[in-house]
């Protein structure tokens, strides 16, 4: 199976981005680079970045573009990403970040495509309030589909909890930030002929299958 890919995955909160990104990273043997997971790890480790990020994250606001772009640039410079590729989850989420990403990739590592997982807002609200997340590996569960053994992750044994920003108030702020800051990226990437829109309101296996077909097509075109 051919491995390697360079992807950005967009989608509103609760669209199933995290779930699909994990699967895509296994399928293509590339790192899943989630800015949310990186920041949550920094908060847990009480690093300088984590201390700066914590309150903004809890209320659901975005961090400064340059701060987040520096963090992503450092991660993308690592060997696994430069040689095999990456799945970017949660970045870019403003037009300014998308421009910074262009600079980071520097024409040397062009994106194969940008996957836009589309789901209606009415559906994501219910998904988000019932969502539970592993604090260690970021695996996603819900009150309807809990882990097998109590609230411990099936994959790594970590504690599975409700994210501090999965409250109704923070969810509203995050969805508003998405509409305001991230939706313009759809046009940004459409104009660059990179956008692949996938219906996220179907079983996760079907979303993955459709995404892989689209990505394979793009990879063939670019090779």
Catalytic residue from among 93, 127, 132, 218: 93
Q: Contact between 174 and ligand ADP (CB under 6 A)?
A: yes
Count of residues touching ligand ADP (by CB under 6 A): 17
β-bridge partners, 34? 89
Q: How far apart, in whole angstroms, are the C-alpha atoms of residue 101 and residue 95? A: 10
The answer to whether 46 is a known catalytic residue is no
β-bridge partners, 199? 118
The answer to whether 70 is a known catalytic residue is no
For residue 146 the two structure tokens come to 């809990």
Yes or no: say if 62 and 94 are a contact pair by the CB < 8 Å rule.
Answer: yes
Q: Contact between 35 and ligand ADP (CB under 6 A)?
A: yes
Return the SS3 of 93: coil
Helix (H) or strand (E) holding 67: helix 65-76
Restricted to residues 67-106, the positions that interact with ligand ADP (CB under 6 A) are 68, 90-91, 93, 97
Catalytic residue from among 12, 23, 40, 131: 131
Q: Contact between 125 and ligand ADP (CB under 6 A)?
A: no
Closer CB to ligand ADP, 60 or 85, in the complex: 60
List the end-to-end C-alpha distance of the chain, in Å, as a whole number: 15
**Where do contacts with ligand ADP occur on this chain (CB under 6 A)?**
13, 35-36, 39, 56-57, 60-63, 68, 90-91, 93, 97, 165, 174
């Amino acid at each position: 199976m051919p491995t390697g890919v360079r992807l950005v995955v967009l989608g509103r909160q609760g669209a199933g981005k995290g779930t699909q990104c994990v699967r895509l990273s296994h399928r293509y043997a590339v790192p899943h680079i989630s800015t949310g997971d990186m920041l949550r790890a920094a908060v847990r480790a009480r690093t300088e970045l984590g201390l700066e990020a914590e309150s903004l994250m809890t209320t659901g606001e975005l961090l400064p573009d340059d701060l987040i772009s520096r963090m992503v640039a450092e991660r993308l410079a690592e060997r696994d990403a430069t040689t095999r590729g990456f799945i970017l989850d949660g970045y870019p989420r403003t037009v300014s970040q998308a421009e910074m990403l262009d600079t980071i990739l520097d024409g040397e590592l062009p994106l194969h495509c940008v996957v836009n997982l589309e789901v209606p807002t009415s559906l994501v609200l219910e998904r988000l309030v019932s969502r539970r997340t592993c604090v260690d590996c970021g695996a996603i569960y819900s009150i309807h589909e809990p882990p097998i053994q109590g609230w411990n992750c099936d994959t790594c044994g970590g504690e599975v909890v409700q994210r501090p920003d999965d409250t109704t108030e923070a969810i509203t702020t995050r969805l508003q930030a998405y509409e305001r800051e991230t939706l313009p990226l759809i046009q940004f990437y459409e104009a660059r002929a990179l956008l692949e829109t996938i219906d996220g309101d179907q079983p996760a296996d079907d979303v993955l299958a459709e995404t892989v077909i689209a990505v394979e097509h793009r990879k063939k075109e670019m090779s």
